Chains A and B, each alone.
Chain A
Amino acid sequence: MANLTSSLSIGLSGLQASQEAMSVIGHNIANVDTPDFSQQAAVQTSNPAQNFGNVQFGTGVTVTSVQALRDQFLNLQLTQSLSAQSAASTLYNGVQAVSSAFTDDGTTGLNTQISNFFSSVSTLAGNPTSAALSENVVGAAQSMISEFQSAYQTVSGAITDANEQIGSLVPQINTLTSQIAALNTQISQQVDPNNDNDAIDQRQELTDQLGKLVGIQVSTNTDNTYQITLDTGAAAQVSGGSSNQMSAAPSAALGNNLAVSVATGSVSTDVTDNINGGELGANMTLRDNVLPAYQTQLDQIAGSLVNQVNQVNMAGYGTDANGDSVTGTPFFTGSGIDSSNPPDANFGQVNCANNALAASAANPPDYTGIINSIEVNPLIVATPTLIASATAANTAGDNSNALKMANLQTAMGTVDTNDDGVGDSGPFSTVVSSLINDVGTQTQHYDSLSTNQQNLTAALQTQQSSVSGVDLDQEAAQLLQFQQAYQASAQFISTISQLTQGLMTTVAAAVG
């Protein structure tokens, strides 16, 4: 049967179990604000009983494990959600940053400047021999070009920012994947890989951080290590205890922008087109798709404007400094505009692959970057009366060609939106409005997406927190519970001690 000595051991096990449980509570309280910390609980198990004949006597309690309360499925969902939120937020910030360049307040803005240009031409038509009005047209054209270039350069700046951001994200990603791999190793080397709670929590926190930087898929191996690949499954970033380093290097195919590769052993795989989520994916989307699309539209509008205005001006007659009639003068010139001498079929128009032939679907004009290369023809800047107001020679008061140019503002089929050299749109103002609407709609879309993703993340965090978060009230209640258990065990030991002392005294008196 159980004796007093074994009872002391039972009391001692209770003291130790309560002390260990309170230690876990202390750990929880200390980590109440630690991100991704999972509330822990000491698992107490009664010790094996001792048999005395047919009677079994308990032998106290032992803390057999410290378990963390976590929902792995929820954690992985949260990682995905954080990645999507980060991407949406980055996309929103990227588009929002350039949207101001497209705002039209009636004084500045693309539509206003285009309107001002055609208005100046229209005013010139009222008095086609006026040198002052001709100079106004030149000034309005230069302001219009500046507005185009300003918007274009704002977008270019945002593309450069996105590219630089890609370069700075890659080292951060590598640091995180290395740390996750190291924690994988630490976790897998434990006797029970599922019980290295703090390392598991740290790994989850690092995985969440990684997900914010780049879209990932996470799966758990049988040894409780994480297997992490890009969200498209293109390349493994973390495989057990090893991580594959990512690198970013300028690529000629991307116009010297950075291409991203993942090295697996000695094999490097270009994953530039296989990254969707996180900040990295969002910056790639901004750099390679969203922002260049705005530039393409700007180029098409500016290139078409150049083509249309040049066609009209070259067909009409202006007067040179000597007062002689001059025809065939392009209004706009620049490195992107055919200036062949003698003039060829495409003279005065945006360069085609073959300028000896007029632009067509088979010989498409190259509008790319045209905005940065156009200027008002220096000849016209020097002699504004070269603006061809007249349709016939030696008719200084003829305004019919100026009217043709002014009427381009409301003409249909002015902008070549499919790069076949033929205008296929509504008036310039509707194409510009469409571009502005695209920018606004995308800004709104990414704003909504970001907010929705933030809501989803908050909901998942609430769920995760309800499972894993530290509740100080709960900790306080359990602290009281284990404090009382500790006190009771101590009282029990004291009682057994008194009984032992009494027994010893009685035995000593009987012997004596």
Chain B
Amino acid sequence: MSMRVPNLMDNASSLLDLQRIKQQYSETVQQLSTGEADPNLGDDPSATAQVEGYQASINVNTEYIAQANTANSQLQASSTALTSVNSSITQLLQLGEEGLAAGTTTASQDGIASQVSAIRQDLISLGNTQVEGQYIFAGTDSTTVPFVDNETTTPPSTTYNGNSGVSSLTLSPSVSVATNIPGDTLFYGPDGQGSDTDVLAQTAAMAQALTSNNTAALQTAFNNLQTISSRINVSTADLGEREDGVTALQNGLTSYNQNLTAQQTSIQSVNYANAITQLDQENVAQQATLSTIAQTNQKNLFDYIA
């Protein structure tokens, strides 16, 4: 069956086609100019939701990576201080060996005692190490000077004004890492202030033993410092392990984020080859439609009636 095709209808349908081709052309140009496959929210909501999901994960992981950086920075500060503490204890042990050696004169012992006292001051300074204005061995009371020297006692003693709080940072929903060692734990050891595990007390005891030429007391202090040195070494190793763990997690998160970004880009970015081909096709279709409209409107029977 044939259908009447009046002139008005030709133009209406052709113009609708032309309008759609131009709209599609405009969208393809927008894709190419923005580089995005779906520049508008309504273009592909499921793709947008996927991209949003990836972005949320990337953002959270980026925070964890930043936390890991901070954690490593704080752990490194503690680690550096601990290395100095170790070095000081090593010096103390060397001085103790000198003091215990046979034939050491009283004058020599006084000289050694002075060096030991100086190292004690160094240790107190290390206990009061500040990073970005925070006392890293004050527990969570990080604005308070943790170790205060008391020279009025014999031997000299220290007071710890920090607390035993441990600060942590979150590196993933299930992983957090302690970023400090409280000063009392580190310097006073498990038996507390003034005990055999107190490095500051044992240093003071060593100095006093040297001054008073008390070999037995010197030997005791020496032995205690050896034990303390081993404990500090364990703490240093523990910090190193924490740093390694944080670095490994950081690398894993960085790699994971790279994968997520790649996934996100594959959804989000326009396929230039496809888009350019599509633009060419739409260009041809637009020209063909324009040409068709022009030709359709050129002729009717009136043109042939003389």
Which residues of A line the B interface, CB within 8 A? 32-33, 39, 95-96, 99-100, 102-104, 106, 111-112, 115, 118-119, 122-123, 125-127, 129-130, 323, 390, 392, 394-400, 403, 406-407, 409-410, 427, 429-430, 432-433, 436-437, 439-444, 447, 454, 458, 461-462, 465-467, 469-474, 476-477, 479-480
Contacts and interface: CB of A to CB of B under 8 A. Distances in A.
Given A398-B165, A410-B60, 6 more contacts: A33-B8, A125-B170, A403-B169, A429-B52, A430-B53, A469-B6
A471 B41 contact: no
A32 B6 CA distance: 9
Nearest to B140: A398
A436 B60 contact: no
Interface string B59-92: 1101100110011001000000000000000000
A465 B133 contact: no
A7 to B, nearest CB: 31
A118 B141 contact: no
A409 B5 CA distance: 63
Contact of B49 (A32, A406, A427, A437): A437
A317 B112 CA distance: 48
A458 B141 contact: no
A396 B41 contact: no
Contacts of A104: 52, 55
A136 to B, nearest CB: 12
A472 B302 contact: yes
A393 to B, nearest CB: 11
A476 B300 contact: yes
A136 B5 CA distance: 70
B43 interface: yes
Contacts of A469: 4, 6-9
Nearest to B132: A127
Interface of B: 3-9, 12-13, 16, 40-46, 48-49, 52-53, 55-56, 59-60, 62-63, 66-67, 70-71, 74, 132-135, 138-143, 163, 165, 167-170, 173, 176, 300-302, 305
A397 B183 CA distance: 14
A437 B45 CA distance: 6
B42 A443 contact: yes
Nearest to A98: B41
Contacts of B16: 454, 458
Given A32-B7, A104-B52, A471-B4, A119 B59 contact: yes
A466 B60 contact: no
Closest 10 CB pairs of A and B: A397-B142, A443-B42, A469-B6, A440-B45, A126-B70, A476-B301, A429-B56, A465-B9, A398-B140, A115-B59
A471 B140 CA distance: 91
A458 B4 contact: no
B141 A394 contact: yes
Contacts, number: 186
Contact of B12 (A125, A406, A440, A465): A465
Nearest to A29: B302
B70 A119 contact: no
Contacts of A447: 42
B42 to A, nearest CB: 3
Q: Which of A123, A399, A442, A443 has the most CB of B within 10 A?
A: A399
Nearest to A110: B52
A39 B71 CA distance: 84
Given A119-B62, A397-B143, A99 B41 contact: yes
A470 B7 contact: yes
25 contacts: A32-B7, A32-B8, A102-B41, A111-B59, A115-B60, A119-B59, A122-B67, A394-B141, A395-B141, A397-B167, A399-B140, A399-B167, A437-B49, A441-B45, A444-B43, A454-B16, A461-B9, A462-B13, A465-B6, A465-B8, A466-B3, A466-B5, A467-B4, A470-B7, A474-B4
B300 A99 contact: no
Contacts of A106: 55
A441 B38 CA distance: 13
A394 B142 CA distance: 10
Contacts of A397: 134-135, 138-143, 165, 167
A440 B167 contact: no
A409 B305 contact: no
B300 A400 contact: no
Nearest to B142: A397
A34 B5 CA distance: 16
B63 A122 contact: yes
A437 B167 contact: no
B79 to A, nearest CB: 17
Nearest to A406: B170
A433 B133 CA distance: 40
Q: Which of B44, B52, B53 has the most CB of A within 10 A?
A: B52
Contacts of A436: 41, 48-49, 52
Q: Which of A126, A429, A436 has the most CB of B within 10 A?
A: A126
Contact of A127 (B52, B62, B134): B134
B142 A396 contact: yes
Contacts of A477: 301
B6 A470 contact: yes
Contacts of A32: 7-8
Contact of A440 (B3, B6, B41, B53): B41
Contacts of A115: 56, 59-60, 63
Contacts of B133: 129
Contacts of A406: 63, 170
Contact of B173 (A127, A392, A410, A429): A410
Contacts of B173: 410
